[in-house]
Structure 1
Amino acid sequence: MTVIAMTREMATRGSEVAAGLAEQLGLTIIHHELVEHDIAKRTGMAGSEVHRLLEGEASLLARWTTDRRRLSRYTAQEILELAAKGNALIRGWGAPYLLRSVQHVVCVRICAPMAFREKVLMDRLELRDANLARREIERNDAAHNGTMQKLFGIDWADPALYSIVLNTARVPIRDCVDHIVRLSESPAFQETAQSRGELADQLLLARVRSVMDKRFGATSRQHGFDAHVEGGKVTLTGATTDEKLIVEVVRLLQGIEGVERVESKISHIAFAPHGPSDP
């Protein structure tokens, strides 16, 4: 069940690498429209609004009023849902960061020097002004990196996030495809029971956090509710004075797909009202 998570800089011919991989490995390329549509459904936001936020094009007011924590969690859940289906090449949206700990996922970055990218963009758009091409590339890079920093606190150019980084100015497209294919077929990136379990636990944790955010919102954060998932078992942590709330949280999570057992370690803090002072 091959899964490739790819980040590509603008005008690096990364889309050609993705197309070559999809053809050779029989993968479905996950385009941004599908991811943004599903995130919009989960958040209740308009698809165009999600697109502008993820592309770094949202207005200042939209950035201020958007719950970044919730958007980050719904984005993570959508990426993990797609990865769990397998046979996919997921481009962007922090996919390499979110899937970096899943052993069978190949995390790829496609990059190139600015001069190469300027020429690619000028040829593609029939531009004559290299400065115009450079400004558009720099704007796009800043927007994407800014979005990844806000959602996940990462620098998308950090090579430590990736299994392989390829410079298309030096490595031909066909060779890029071959390198990634060989990596995906190597023993180190074969799916195992352990790697499937890692992905399943991450997905389940994303589902749990999304459901808790949707149902309890600020209340969940107020009580410090969080969860740990291992082998389908969900362990809840936090503290509250409302004993009924603990029961409600447990019952809610028991209905989530993939949850086998819920254990509450939420502390119940007894509230002792102040009485009259002793003489």
Structure 2
Amino acid sequence: MAIITISRELAAMGDETAHELAKLLNYRFVDKLSLEERIKSYGVADRKFEKYDERKPSLFASLSQDRDDYLHYLKTAIFAEAGSGNCVFIGRGAGAVFRNIPGVLSVFLVAPGEIRNERVKSYFHCDDRRARQIIEQSDQNRVGFHRYFFDIDWRSPDNYHLTLNTGYLSPAACAELIKNLLEKLISEEIEIQNLRKLRELILSQRVVHHILYEKEIPIHFLESSSSENAVTLYGVASSQALVEAAVSSAREVPPVADVRSEIQVVQEYSVMP
């Protein structure tokens, strides 16, 4: 199994390239709409998270519980989509979510400023000044989104296997280049590693969801890692009783066989609701 993530500047032909690639490889295409539908299937209104969608949250939003809920459900939806088989993700931080995971190919699409400007003018039917404003705002939002939620530099080539310039390459040409690189980098052995790691990520996410959203145990900054059905919990709790409740709840999630706690106890710890 393989996963391709595509990050893109505004007006760098991201959706067009992702569609071409998915069609060429016969992979599933996963975009904003796909993830929103998946999140809604969990009983969450997508309107609740609009203020976080590929943008840096405001100061107030960054301090709210909605911020943590957004990242939790976004990762849950991304893992669920990936678990359904070979797929191409466009945007939504998927490249950062799957960073350093075997069997994942990350691509960044760019285009020269003047070409982006002309494309935005054509799409939005606006003048040069307005087009530049739209591009600048989009770039700021995407830089802030990736820095805030994933602590990475969105534009850094270190985060990608391949960067392509759609000012000179068509979506079809980009799709062919990505396909060729995929065939050279992703072996059958790596695909098996990818599937194993994805199962671990999904299990870890299910454990977090069960503790926080089903059992409603207040463990702050809760994270989980898993290996061969053994789970380790990380976070901050205000009492040892809450730690024990979290460990007990984690054991309820199949196929968890063993639970280890690295949760720190800090008396009277609290965060803004």
- For the residues of structure 2 that align with 1:260 and 1:61, how far apart are their CA atoms? 37
Structure 1: runs of 5 or more not aligned: 270-279
In the superposition, relative to structure 1, how do residues 243 and 206 fare at CA in structure 2: closer, same or farther (>3 Å)? same
- For the residues of structure 2 that align with 1:206 and 1:242, how far apart are their CA atoms? 23
TM-score (norm 2): 0.82
Contact 1:236–1:262 (8 Å) recurs in 2: no
Q: 1:120: which partner in 2?
A: 119
Contact 2:229–2:256 (8 Å) recurs in 1: yes
Q: 1:2: which partner in 2?
A: 2
- For the residues of structure 1 that align with 2:37 and 2:191, how far apart are their CA atoms? 31
The Cα shift of 1:65 comes to 3.1
- The alignment status of 1:199 with 2:198, answered yes or no, reads yes
The Cα shift of 1:137 comes to 1.1
- For the residues of structure 2 that align with 1:249 and 1:66, how far apart are their CA atoms? 19
Q: Secondary structure at the match of 1:132?
A: helix
- For the residues of structure 1 that align with 2:239 and 2:57, how far apart are their CA atoms? 39
- For the residues of structure 2 that align with 1:209 and 1:10, how far apart are their CA atoms? 34
Q: Secondary structure at the match of 1:89?
A: strand
- The alignment status of 1:262 with 2:258, answered yes or no, reads yes
The Cα shift of 1:135 comes to 0.7
Give the letter for the 1:138 counterpart.
E
Structure 2: runs of 5 or more not aligned: 266-273
- For the residues of structure 1 that align with 2:80 and 2:109, how far apart are their CA atoms? 24
Structure 2 counterparts to residues 1-279 of structure 1, below 5 A = 1-40=1-40, 42=42, 45-56=44-55, 62-127=61-126, 129-188=127-186, 190=188, 191-215=190-214, 219-221=218-220, 226-236=223-233, 245-257=242-254, 259-265=255-261
Give the letter for the 1:15 counterpart.
D
- For the residues of structure 1 that align with 2:238 and 2:145, how far apart are their CA atoms? 37
Q: Secondary structure at the match of 2:218?
A: helix
- For the residues of structure 1 that align with 2:215 and 2:149, how far apart are their CA atoms? 21
Residues 142-151 or 212-221, more deviating: 212-221
Q: 1:277: which partner in 2?
A: none
Give the letter for the 2:154 counterpart.
W
Contact 1:12–1:111 (8 Å) recurs in 2: yes
For residues 253-276 of structure 1, the C-alpha deviation after alignment (integer angstroms, 9 at most, x for no partner) is 23324x33123346899xxxxxxx
For residues 140-167 of structure 1, the C-alpha deviation after alignment (integer angstroms, 9 at most, x for no partner) is 1212222222222222112111111111
- For the residues of structure 1 that align with 2:87 and 2:27, how far apart are their CA atoms? 5
Contact 1:110–1:167 (8 Å) recurs in 2: yes
Question: What is the root-mean-square deviation of aligned Cα atoms in Å?
Answer: 3.1
- For the residues of structure 2 that align with 1:145 and 1:18, how far apart are their CA atoms? 21
- For the residues of structure 2 that align with 1:187 and 1:139, how far apart are their CA atoms? 35
Give the letter for the 1:155 counterpart.
D
The Cα shift of 1:173 comes to 2.6
Q: Secondary structure at the match of 2:102?
A: coil
For residues 151-199 of structure 1, the C-alpha deviation after alignment (integer angstroms, 9 at most, x for no partner) is 2222211211111111111333322111101122225354433222222
